[in-house]
Every structure is written in structure tokens, then in C-alpha cells.
Amino acid sequence: MKRIQNPFKWRHHEPEIILLCVRWYCRFQLSYRDLEEMMRERGLTVDHTTVWRWVQAYAPEINKRLRPHLKMSGTSYRIDETYIKVGKEYKYLYRAVDKDGQTIEFMLSAKRDVSSAKRFFKKVLRADHRRLPFSINVDKNAAYPDAFSASQEEKVLPMDCQLRCVKYLNNVIEQDHRFIKKKVRASQSFRSFHTAERTLEGIEAMNMIRKSQVKRLSGSDAWGQAKFVLSLFQLAA
């Protein structure tokens, strides 16, 4: 019988404290030093670099373990990309939501071209909680039409799916960018692509929980959300 590895092995703090810090950092506009001070007020000595390591280790795990619990998406997609500062350069965060603003998928990319758009289409169609799209609305990025046609030829996207470029239809995703951008600004940018990628997984996961995308869990139920994140790691509240 295969033994399940404990993800918190060798950690010097209780798993509940670790997940609390990771959840708060990814959910609210807090810095690592803010969390260090908040824990100190509770009688816990936690260095801000330790909190950073926790986020790097457990933010992707929360995103991965969250996916089976998400509600199914709609069939009308909105796809857009927004700028994320990494070091001294700007990278591109591709994001897809349905017409109700429910997150389907996201991807950090160094470039904004046909190849990146194709990779994102493939990632979107691998999401467990997605329904096959009837339409995909995008902005006027010239890479999308070529990437869309190529993806249909490669049978990544269904042939009856339509690509549309209607500006007002993308208002929903542009509004949804705001939560991510506010959190990223509080982080004062990222030092490396890898760090940004892992941290954004946690930020996007907490955004999905906030938007009531988890089955039988309200976005306004703060206590329920805390218990849910603990349950992802088989921890009792």
C-alpha cells in the first residue's frame, strides 16, 4: 500500500498556521512583513522569508487540490491578458473566464504571441471544470485569430466554436483583473518568473474561492472558506 507523504513534514510550525499565512497572503493586500508582524501579535515568531517559502510551497498545492471542487464553467469564454511586472520587465498573465466572471484558467507567459496564445488555449481545454466553448471573445490582439485557427486545425478547439472580438463583452474579465492587480501591487512585483508563477497560482485560487466557484461554499462565508482550505490537506478545523 502506497504511503501518502505528509506535505508539512519537517516544518517547524503547525500546518494550520502555515495555511493561514498562505491563505491571508494570497487573499488580502498584505506583504510578507505585514504577516510577520501579525503573527508576532499572536505570540508567534515567523520571519517574513519563512512566509515567502510557505507561499512558494503551498500556493500551487492549494490551486491543484481546489480544482476537483469547482463548479462547471459556462460555454461562453472571455479571454484576455494583463501585464505583470517580474523583476524589471513586464510579463503577460493570460486569463480566461466565462460570461459570469467565473475563472476557467490562467497562464503566465514571457511573450504575447501566437505560440503563447495556442499554449493557453490548450491549457484552458485541459481544465477539469470547463465545458466546451461555443464562443470565445478576445481583444484586438493580432495573435488570437491565427492561434484560434491553428488550434481548431489541431482539434484542440471544437470546429463549431466561434471567435469574436466585441469590446464590451470583455468588460467582465477586465473587471476581474482588478483583484489580481491589486494583490500584485501589494506584493511590489516579483523577483523571478518562477516565483511569480507559483504565487499567482495561490492568488488565482483564492480569487476563485472568493467568487463562490467552490461547490456548496459561499464567497461570503469566511469561516467556511478557512475550513475548506484546511480540508484540502485533510486537516480538521
Read off the pTM: 0.93
Please give the average per-residue pLDDT across 39-59, as a whole number. 95
Q: Does 32 reside within a domain?
A: yes
Residue 196 has φ and ψ, to the nearest 5°, of -60, -45
b/e sequence 175-184, b meaning 16+ C-beta within 10 Å: ebbebbeebb
**Which three three-digit cell numbers place residue 226?**
478557512
Please give the average per-residue pLDDT across 198-227, as a whole number. 96
> Quick one: which of 157, 98, 95 has its CA closest to 125?
157
**Counted domains in the chain:** 2
**Which three three-digit cell numbers place residue 105?**
484558467
pLDDT exceeds cutoff 90 at 212: yes
Q: Are residues 144 and 212 in the same domain?
A: no
- Contact criterion met (CB below 8 Å) for 134 and 76: yes
**Which three three-digit cell numbers place residue 79?**
479571454
> Quick one: which of 77, 78, 144, 157 has its CA closest to 112?
144
Distances (CA, A) of 205 to 8, 63, 70: 20, 5, 10
Q: Are residues 52 and 84 in the same domain?
A: no
Q: Does 64 reside within a domain?
A: yes
Sign of the torsion angle spanned by Cα atoms 194, 56, 117, 152:
positive
Q: Does 98 reside within a domain?
A: yes
Q: Are residues 93 and 169 in the same domain?
A: yes
Q: Are residues 81 and 161 in the same domain?
A: yes
pLDDT exceeds cutoff 50 at 2: no
Q: Are residues 103 and 165 in the same domain?
A: yes
Domain extent at residue 225: 15-69+192-231
Q: Does 7 reside within a domain?
A: no
Output the pLDDT for position 197: 96
pLDDT exceeds cutoff 60 at 1: no
Please give the average per-residue pLDDT across 115-122, as a whole number. 97
Q: Does 100 reside within a domain?
A: yes
Q: Are residues 168 and 80 in the same domain?
A: yes
For residue 132, what pLDDT band results from cuts at 50, 70 and 90?
very high
For residue 159, what pLDDT band results from cuts at 50, 70 and 90?
very high
Q: Each residue of 165-195: pLDDT tens digit?
A: 988 889 999 999 998 999 888 877 799 999 9
Q: Are residues 204 and 156 in the same domain?
A: no
Q: Are residues 39 and 134 in the same domain?
A: no
Output the pLDDT for position 237: 59
Q: Does 34 reside within a domain?
A: yes
Sheet strands side by side (includes 103-109): 103-109, 89-98, 76-86, 135-137, 162-164
